[in-house]
Amino acid sequence: MYAIFRAAGKQFKAEKGKTLRLPLMSAEAGSKITFDEVLLSSDGETINAGAPLVKGARVMAEVVGDGKEPKIYVFKFKRRKNYRRKTGHRQKFTEVRITDVKLG
């Protein structure tokens, strides 16, 4: 049993007990979150595709905590122009554990 839902402009596959890293959200650790924008749901035999959303379907999750991804280095370079720039970036995320998947 799984569902595809939309959060922060991206799509994620939710299964009960699975832990996901979503883009940073303003939620405290231990709080409950409900995602109502379910695009597709499946119980293992049948697949329900929404147009655009599945009616009555929702995904419940519990916030585990926040963190940062490993650093990604960005290097800009133009040959023969003495131009070099090296910067780094760490994307922030919110880690959630899927507690329940309700199919519509």
Q: Is the pLDDT of residue 104 over 90?
A: no
pLDDT of 40-89, one tens digit each?
Answer: 999 889 998 988 999 999 999 999 999 999 999 999 999 999 999 999 99
- Residues ≥6 apart with Cβ < 8 Å to 77: 83, 84, 85
Query: Domain locations in the chain?
Result: 2-102
How many helices, marked H, and strands, marked E, lie in the chain? 0, 10
Confidence of residue 2 (pLDDT cuts 50, 70, 90): very high
